[in-house]
Amino acid sequence: MTEPLLKVRGLKIGATIYPPGEKSRDIEIVHGVDFDLEAGKVLGLIGESGAGKSTIGLAALSYGRGGVELTGGEVWLNGRDILKSRMADKRSLRGGEVTYVSQSAAASFNPAKRIMEQVTEAAISHGKFTKKEAEERAVGLFEKLGLPDPENIGSRYPHQVSGGQLQRCMTALALCPQPDLVVFDEPTTALDVTTQIDVLKAIKTAIRDTGVAALYITHDLAVVAQVSDHIMVLQQGAMVEYGSVDQIINAPKEEYTQALVSVRSIKHVEKEPGQTPLLKVEGITARYSGTNFDVLKDIDVELHAGQTLAVVGESGSGKSTLARVITGLLPPSEGTLTFDGRTLTPDLATRPLDDLRELQMIYQMADTAMNPRQTVGTIIGRPLEFYFGLKGKEKQKRIQQLLDEIELGEGFQDRYPAELSGGQKQRVCIARALAAKPKLIICDEVTSALDPLVADGILKLLLRLQKVEDVAYLFITHDLATVKAIADSIAVMFQGKIVRYGPKSQVLAPPFDDYTDLLLSSVPEMRIGWLEETIATRKMEAAGN
């Protein structure tokens, strides 16, 4: 057998952390990982955040992000150990033999330079191609990646193309120097689901046609199953399982892999709507001040007590604006809101205290929704004081009750948000909303920033709390798997309008309108060949990809 392109042996990666108020100490992020990658093959690295995927990916460029250090082991590329290389040699390797595609192309392109200059820079500075050759290559790659107007798109600035297009440009940037290996670090995670599918196809085609090897890093097993030959599952800096795509998704051996494969399989039976709706949204049209564009156009929806209405759509469809209108943050230009039989005033400032109390909100970024200098007890205690005037022992007791409800138990009252994990933070935000004893909670993408397994836990918690507290959810999300798991009724939004609305069983049953079909079919499925099948059979193409 010939020597593999990339051979990693016992790779250890560490970092120095500086906890506030304590002495700095060294921690190990990756604890000895081994793998091989043959030329022209694709290896998927999968795991939750903190599993060390990106760190391992960057090690293939002999690079440690931030204060990260490659502390031990060997990384052999093209027959030499690049961890022991000298700086000049590392530089000729980066951008020459190995290139990198990051998650956010928008941040990774220099805003002050034209796309072409950035795409060809590495190829030219490593002397692989002349400027003219590199530009010809770039145009060829733009074409292969399905970018519009490949001859001229390079003369644009990054802000002049869409997010999906820029992500393809980043792929062109990585392929332009004709590398042996490309590290793709969550290249489609930041994109809308309907855009992701096209970019994924473009990347897959480009990998196949150029014969380059790739490390494909993602947290989404369904995505990695479409592009990889082999998959390595990582957890907390160690390998859990390694195998072919077929083996990993159809016959996972390890318990952790099995959990990843079966994630998003919550069964939720849809409830019958009651007599009168809890929330009635009628003819709402809204725009932001200073603009002449309606973000919401004539929206009608209803939500019944103790049930969940999922509002689903892509970024820019107006779903978060709907939440702002309902909470009174953005008074609508037309339409009325009826809540529990009474009319809600359009502006938050004029609403009575009880209206404010009964309508709570949970946000996507639990991090920024909490004051980092307040303890969990203070954060949850605030609505108890504000709405119910609770003090002292009584308040303490209620806080502990709420903490028990969100399955956090004792000892969490005195912790600060920084001492909690992402899932725990979101649980505290849920407890804060529940503390007001609301009838309706608006959940704005509450699981989007969480790892799949953690998100599953949050969804299960929300469903259980709905039974106990009889609270209704208006659940805003772009993720259809979440919708299937939690909704009783669904409203599909597209460009400020509701294109499909009704009970879950109806909305998710054919015949579909073109947009709903596109949205539903774009959700990656965990089987080989899904990507090609879907591209071939869908009715409508995504706009602005």
Partner 1 sequence: MHPIVTLVAQRLALGILLLFAASVLIFAGTTMLPGDVAQQILGQGATPESLANLRAELGLNDPPVARYFNWLGGVLQGDLGTALTNGRDIAESIGGRLKNTMFLAFWAAVVSVPLALFLGLLAVRYKDKWPDKLISAVTLTTISIPEFMLGYILMYWLAVKLRWFPSVAILNDSMSLLEKLNAIAIPVIVLTLVVLAHMMRMTRAAILNVMQSAYIETAELKGLGMLKIIRTHAFPNAVAPIVNVVMINMAYLVVGVVVVEVVFAYPGMGQYLVDHVTKRDVPVVQAVGLIFAAVYIGLNLVADIVSIITNPRLRHPK
Residue ranges that bind partner 1, judged by CB under 8 A: 61, 63, 65, 90-96, 99-100, 102, 104, 107-113, 118, 121-122, 125-126, 156-157, 159-160, 173
Q: Which is nearer to partner 1, 98 or 508 (CB)?
A: 98
How far apart (Å, rounded) are the C-alpha atoms in residues 366 and 539? 37
Least distance in angstroms from the C-beta of 197 to partner 1? 25
How far apart (Å, rounded) are the C-alpha atoms in residues 164 and 313? 17
- Looking at the DSSP assignment, which residues form a beta bridge with residue 498? 493
Least distance in angstroms from the C-beta of 205 to partner 1? 23
Q: Which is nearer to partner 1, 79 or 111 (CB)?
A: 111
Least distance in angstroms from the C-beta of 102 to partner 1? 6
How far apart (Å, rounded) are the C-alpha atoms in residues 393 and 365? 31
Element (H, E) at 236: none
Q: Which is nearer to partner 1, 122 or 245 (CB)?
A: 122
How many angstroms separate the first and last alpha carbons of the chain? 42
Least distance in angstroms from the C-beta of 151 to partner 1? 18
- Looking at the DSSP assignment, which residues form a beta bridge with residue 238? 235
Q: Which is nearer to partner 1, 94 or 168 (CB)?
A: 94
Q: Which is nearer to partner 1, 148 or 502 (CB)?
A: 148
Whether the bond into 511 is cis, omega within 30 of 0: yes
Least distance in angstroms from the C-beta of 234 to partner 1? 21
Judge contact between 516 and 492, C-beta under 8 A.
Answer: yes
Q: Which is nearer to partner 1, 6 or 402 (CB)?
A: 6
Q: Which residues contact 512 (CB under 8 A, 6 or more apart)?
A: 500, 520
Element (H, E) at 19: none
Q: Which is nearer to partner 1, 12 or 114 (CB)?
A: 114
Least distance in angstroms from the C-beta of 40 to partner 1? 22
Q: Which residues contact 347 (CB under 8 A, 6 or more apart)?
A: 328, 331
Least distance in angstroms from the C-beta of 281 to partner 1? 33
Beta-carbon-side half-sphere exposure of residue 393 (alpha carbons within 13 Å): 0
Tell me the Ramachandran region of residue 225: left when phi exceeds 0, alpha when psi lies from -120 to 50, beta otherwise.
alpha
